[in-house]
Amino acid sequence: MTGKKPFETVVAAHGATVLRVCRAVVGPIDADDAWSETFLSAMKAYEELPVDANLEAWLVTIAHRKAIDVTRARSRRAIPVAETPDTGTAPAADSGDLDDVLVIALAALPAKQKQAVAYHYLADLPYNDVAAILGGSVEAARRAAADGIATLRRNYPGLTAPRLTGSKGEPQ
Protein backbone atom coordinates (compact mmCIF):
# COMPACT_ATOMS: atom_id res chain seq x y z
CA MET A 1 0.00 0.00 0.00
CA THR A 2 1.56 3.26 -1.10
CA GLY A 3 -1.32 5.64 -0.58
CA LYS A 4 -1.58 8.27 2.09
CA LYS A 5 -3.43 7.32 5.27
CA PRO A 6 -6.76 8.94 6.12
CA PHE A 7 -6.10 12.11 8.13
CA GLU A 8 -8.15 10.61 10.98
CA THR A 9 -5.32 8.09 11.45
CA VAL A 10 -2.80 10.95 11.75
CA VAL A 11 -4.87 12.66 14.44
CA ALA A 12 -5.36 9.37 16.31
CA ALA A 13 -1.66 8.48 16.17
CA HIS A 14 -0.15 11.88 16.99
CA GLY A 15 -2.91 13.88 18.73
CA ALA A 16 -1.73 13.05 22.25
CA THR A 17 1.94 13.86 21.60
CA VAL A 18 1.08 17.15 19.90
CA LEU A 19 -1.18 18.08 22.82
CA ARG A 20 1.61 17.37 25.34
CA VAL A 21 4.07 19.40 23.27
CA CYS A 22 1.60 22.32 23.07
CA ARG A 23 0.89 22.12 26.81
CA ALA A 24 4.60 22.07 27.58
CA VAL A 25 5.41 25.00 25.31
CA VAL A 26 2.44 27.39 25.73
CA GLY A 27 0.86 26.08 28.93
CA PRO A 28 -2.51 24.42 29.44
CA ILE A 29 -4.64 27.49 28.70
CA ASP A 30 -3.43 28.17 25.15
CA ALA A 31 -2.61 24.54 24.33
CA ASP A 32 -6.04 23.72 22.93
CA ASP A 33 -5.90 26.59 20.42
CA ALA A 34 -2.34 25.68 19.43
CA TRP A 35 -3.39 22.04 18.96
CA SER A 36 -6.41 22.97 16.82
CA GLU A 37 -4.42 25.42 14.69
CA THR A 38 -1.72 22.78 14.21
CA PHE A 39 -4.05 20.09 12.91
CA LEU A 40 -6.09 22.50 10.77
CA SER A 41 -2.90 23.73 9.15
CA ALA A 42 -1.63 20.16 8.77
CA MET A 43 -4.89 19.13 7.13
CA LYS A 44 -4.55 21.92 4.56
CA ALA A 45 -1.03 20.82 3.65
CA TYR A 46 -1.53 17.07 4.04
CA GLU A 47 -2.21 16.24 0.41
CA GLU A 48 1.07 17.82 -0.72
CA LEU A 49 3.14 16.09 1.98
CA PRO A 50 5.41 13.32 0.63
CA VAL A 51 4.11 9.87 1.56
CA ASP A 52 7.38 8.96 3.33
CA ALA A 53 7.56 12.18 5.40
CA ASN A 54 8.14 11.88 9.15
CA LEU A 55 4.69 12.88 10.38
CA GLU A 56 5.65 13.53 13.98
CA ALA A 57 8.52 15.87 13.05
CA TRP A 58 6.26 17.62 10.53
CA LEU A 59 3.46 18.08 13.08
CA VAL A 60 5.81 19.31 15.82
CA THR A 61 7.30 21.80 13.35
CA ILE A 62 3.82 23.17 12.66
CA ALA A 63 2.97 23.11 16.39
CA HIS A 64 6.13 25.13 17.12
CA ARG A 65 5.01 27.89 14.73
CA LYS A 66 1.41 27.83 15.95
CA ALA A 67 2.56 27.99 19.58
CA ILE A 68 4.52 31.15 18.77
CA ASP A 69 1.44 32.64 17.04
CA VAL A 70 -0.82 31.81 19.96
CA THR A 71 1.64 33.23 22.50
CA ARG A 72 2.03 36.44 20.48
CA ALA A 73 -1.71 36.83 20.15
CA ARG A 74 -2.08 36.49 23.89
CA SER A 75 0.66 38.98 24.73
CA ARG A 76 -0.94 41.48 22.29
CA ARG A 77 -4.23 41.12 24.10
CA ALA A 78 -2.28 41.57 27.35
CA ILE A 79 -4.99 40.18 29.54
CA PRO A 80 -3.43 39.04 32.78
CA VAL A 81 -4.09 35.34 33.21
CA ALA A 82 -2.89 33.11 35.98
CA GLU A 83 -0.20 30.88 34.51
CA THR A 84 -0.65 28.17 37.11
CA PRO A 85 -0.76 24.81 35.36
CA ASP A 86 -4.27 23.48 35.28
CA THR A 87 -3.74 19.95 36.49
CA GLY A 88 -7.24 19.56 37.87
CA THR A 89 -7.84 18.44 41.41
CA ALA A 90 -4.73 17.75 43.42
CA PRO A 91 -3.76 14.11 43.04
CA ALA A 92 -3.42 12.17 46.26
CA ALA A 93 -0.40 10.16 45.19
CA ASP A 94 3.10 11.46 45.88
CA SER A 95 4.10 11.01 42.25
CA GLY A 96 1.18 13.28 41.30
CA ASP A 97 2.51 16.06 43.54
CA LEU A 98 5.97 15.62 42.08
CA ASP A 99 4.45 15.78 38.60
CA ASP A 100 2.93 19.15 39.47
CA VAL A 101 6.34 20.36 40.58
CA LEU A 102 7.84 19.13 37.32
CA VAL A 103 5.20 20.90 35.22
CA ILE A 104 5.74 24.17 37.12
CA ALA A 105 9.52 23.85 36.74
CA LEU A 106 9.12 23.18 33.02
CA ALA A 107 6.84 26.21 32.58
CA ALA A 108 9.49 28.40 34.22
CA LEU A 109 12.25 27.42 31.74
CA PRO A 110 13.40 29.91 29.10
CA ALA A 111 11.48 29.38 25.84
CA LYS A 112 14.27 27.75 23.85
CA GLN A 113 15.12 25.27 26.62
CA LYS A 114 11.46 24.45 27.13
CA GLN A 115 11.02 23.85 23.39
CA ALA A 116 14.16 21.71 23.12
CA VAL A 117 13.08 19.59 26.12
CA ALA A 118 9.54 19.21 24.76
CA TYR A 119 10.55 18.27 21.22
CA HIS A 120 13.26 15.84 22.29
CA TYR A 121 11.75 14.28 25.41
CA LEU A 122 8.00 14.48 24.74
CA ALA A 123 7.97 14.09 20.95
CA ASP A 124 11.07 11.86 20.86
CA LEU A 125 12.61 13.82 18.00
CA PRO A 126 16.35 13.44 17.42
CA TYR A 127 18.44 16.59 17.94
CA ASN A 128 18.89 17.29 14.24
CA ASP A 129 15.09 17.54 13.89
CA VAL A 130 14.94 19.71 17.02
CA ALA A 131 17.67 21.94 15.57
CA ALA A 132 15.78 22.25 12.27
CA ILE A 133 12.68 23.42 14.17
CA LEU A 134 14.52 25.83 16.48
CA GLY A 135 16.66 27.16 13.66
CA GLY A 136 20.12 26.71 15.16
CA SER A 137 22.88 24.13 15.18
CA VAL A 138 22.41 20.57 16.40
CA GLU A 139 24.90 21.31 19.17
CA ALA A 140 22.88 24.35 20.28
CA ALA A 141 19.69 22.28 20.38
CA ARG A 142 21.43 19.61 22.43
CA ARG A 143 22.82 22.22 24.83
CA ALA A 144 19.44 23.95 25.25
CA ALA A 145 17.84 20.61 26.17
CA ALA A 146 20.71 19.73 28.53
CA ASP A 147 20.49 23.13 30.27
CA GLY A 148 16.73 22.72 30.60
CA ILE A 149 17.08 19.24 32.04
CA ALA A 150 19.73 20.46 34.51
CA THR A 151 17.33 23.13 35.80
CA LEU A 152 14.46 20.66 36.02
CA ARG A 153 16.71 18.29 37.91
CA ARG A 154 17.51 21.03 40.45
CA ASN A 155 13.81 21.85 40.91
CA TYR A 156 12.34 18.40 40.75
CA PRO A 157 13.07 16.36 43.87
CA GLY A 158 12.31 13.05 42.18
CA LEU A 159 15.27 13.51 39.89
CA THR A 160 17.74 13.67 42.76
CA ALA A 161 16.65 10.30 44.09
CA PRO A 162 19.46 7.72 44.03
CA ARG A 163 19.57 5.56 40.97
CA LEU A 164 18.53 1.98 41.50
CA THR A 165 20.73 0.31 38.94
CA GLY A 166 23.09 2.91 37.65
CA SER A 167 23.40 0.79 34.53
CA LYS A 168 21.96 3.42 32.28
CA GLY A 169 24.27 6.36 31.73
CA GLU A 170 23.26 9.90 31.07
CA PRO A 171 23.45 10.65 27.37
CA GLN A 172 26.24 13.07 26.56
- Other beta carbons within 10 Å of 140: 16
Number of residues that bind another protein (CB under 8 A): 51
Could you say whether residue 53 binds another protein (CB under 8 A)? Answer: no
* Alpha-carbon distances of 96 from 63, 66, 89, 99, 131, rounded to whole Å: 27, 29, 10, 5, 32
Selected binder of another protein within 5, 110, 128, 135 (CB under 8 A): 5
* Alpha-carbon distances of 46 from 49, 92, 113, rounded to whole Å: 5, 43, 29
x/- letters, 105..124, toward another protein (CB under 8 A): -x----------x---xx-x
Could you say whether residue 57 binds another protein (CB under 8 A)? Answer: no
Q: Which lies closer to another protein via its Cβ, residue 48 or residue 80? A: 48
Interacting span for another protein (CB under 8 A) from 16-24, 65-73, 126-134, 135-143: 16-24
Binding residues vs another protein (CB under 8 A): 1, 3-9, 11, 15-17, 19-20, 23-24, 32, 35-36, 39-40, 43-44, 46-47, 87-88, 95, 98-100, 102-103, 106, 117, 121-122, 124, 149, 152-153, 156, 158-161, 163, 168-171
